[in-house]
A and B are shown apart, each in its own frame.
Chain A
Amino acid sequence: MGKTLWIVSFLLGASLVLAACGGGTAPESTSNGETITVVETVVVEVPAESAVSVPAGFGVTLETVRARGNLICGVNSQVPGFGYVGADGGYSGFDVDYCRALAAAIFGDASKVEFRPVTAAERFTALQSGEIDILSRNTTWSLVRDTELGGNFTATTFYDGQGMMVPTESGITTLQDLAGGTVCVQTGTTTELNLADVMASLGIDYTPAVFEDADSTFAAYAEGRCDAVTTDKSGLISRRTVLTDPSAHVILDVTMSKEPLGPMVRHGDDQWFDIAQWTVFAMIAAEEFGITSANVDSVRSSATNPEVMRLLGLEGEMGLKLGLNNDWGYNIIKLVGNYEEVYNRNLGPDTPTYIPRGYNSLYTEGGLLYAPPVR
């Protein structure tokens, strides 16, 4: 008797399971309208994670950020000049200043940003899951990341290339000299893939020693675990400054790849994508027009160039079209600065992480920086 009852109840349960599954999957295959219905039900089910599970539709990210009162920006915390936690616990760097510019554009307050350090391996998951609003962490633009990883690169903020650093005393000058050697590299990076590509195409036999984050990669290199360490040249220059004896290491005169670095947003919210992209363009445009944080107020009061007036919110409704206030461009320049100011503050000649501007100059000066018209 007991056994029969068990079987009956089991079958009952099993059929309900199947019914639940069938009912649940049906909207997947039908129109978009029905999919949204499912999502709404789910939001009710898991209220504790509302910030995460809200579907990222048009304008949702900006709404979430405004409601929260600050921007959550995924940054690096281990690369001086780009994203680094200083002795006072504060964040500084080129990528970090971009987050501040975005906060300035949204809130008119560059301090309304929470920096969340993410490793190379966890950054895309953090972005996909909504844990961060934007990823500004020397991330290379690539096809797979633009598609399969569910993200969109907004604009290139830094044109970089992969380099190789060796101890000066090793006497290594070319990649061929590394034959039979060991190369330290960080996991989950395009660097890791380029290294394999380049070494295979040159036919050089080598052993990779792969580590979880920049700190452990360079710690192992410093201990002599590897003959060389590879990452973006900017990263090498910046990490060299924190080695015990920076002059004992030399960066080889080879560029192994193209590394366009820039901020990345999630798929699905075009408004947010536009805001993130135009924040970059506003900074570049400001440099083109020679507007700096120091002279922005005087430029604003005497501006006659229509494009400058549109950028500073004096003419047209450019900010409103982005879903922001009209003085977004003014706030970025006033509170954070134009591209050149941000560059020089973090990577300029007066900093220990000096990197010549090279490709990262305006197109008028032989570089690649070019902002579309603000109109």
Chain B
Amino acid sequence: MKKLAETMRNTKSWSKLLLLVLTYAIIHLLIIFGIIQDFQQITLTTICINIILAVSLNLITGFTGQFSLGHAGFMSIGAYTCALITMRMPTIPGFILGLVAGAVAAAIVGILVGLPTLRLRGDYLAIATLGMSEIIRIVFLNLNITNGAAGLSGIPQFVNWPWLFVFTAGTILLIVNFLKSSHGRACISIREDEIAAEAMGINTTKYKVTAFAIGAFCAGIAGALYASYFFFIKPTTFNFQKSVDVLVMVVLGGMGSVSGSVLAAILLALISTFLQSFSELRMVIYSLILIIIMIFRPQGLMGSKELSLSMLSKLGSKFSFRKGRV
């Protein structure tokens, strides 16, 4: 019995690995053969960056229950740090250094901001993080080194599909592993009932700050990837609207569902690309879609469930069963 369970677990992790490799290879081939062209590659990059942002915000808001509206702030720290470093060291080691430095800087700011503000609950925390993120933006807007409102341009470009894949898949994997561990469960218990969690020996402040730091770290990575791919950043890129966009992905996908966040990030990027041809009406349609989804599915696409391979196969068999009956 135990052996069977183990084999099953092994098959499961093997099939997951296979799926990852396949995803990578297929998209890589599509790029090589020019089926995915430059324009679609922009969408692909946006999807990857949005996945990192949404999954990491979901860790903070969906799993740990700390309502944050400051993700754009952490992203901007990663973006500016990486940009400033790679502009002085335009090499691959320079880029890696910039990326790591950006992520670490974002995590440090996350801890510094988190320590005093994470005592706040619900909307108060959201407003405090929003304020923090606006302060960061205004600082970048006024510093000489960041070139003010004009922003930084000519950032050396290193990011391509392999980089994107490694960081996106890596972020998802590490966060999923974390959530399955005792530390991750400690975070989730805070969302469920903070008072009970603390009575059961969970240092709630420590785990809130931990979740916040991990989330900020990943947002820093996303920012660094953004800066390097789009080679141009300015403070308004990381305004309040950006934080809201990420929150929308999290809620739309389902709070507390990693696969939901991934789905929502892909879906919203596709919708946004598709709507580009409507130019002026783009945002109007986007906002209507948002309102309609929330009215008819307030728990998000996935609720708090995860998409799994077994669920897909179940869905498949249901479908074929139906077809058989017809």
**A complexed with B:** no
Instruction: Report which A residues bind B (CB closer than 8 A).
Output: none
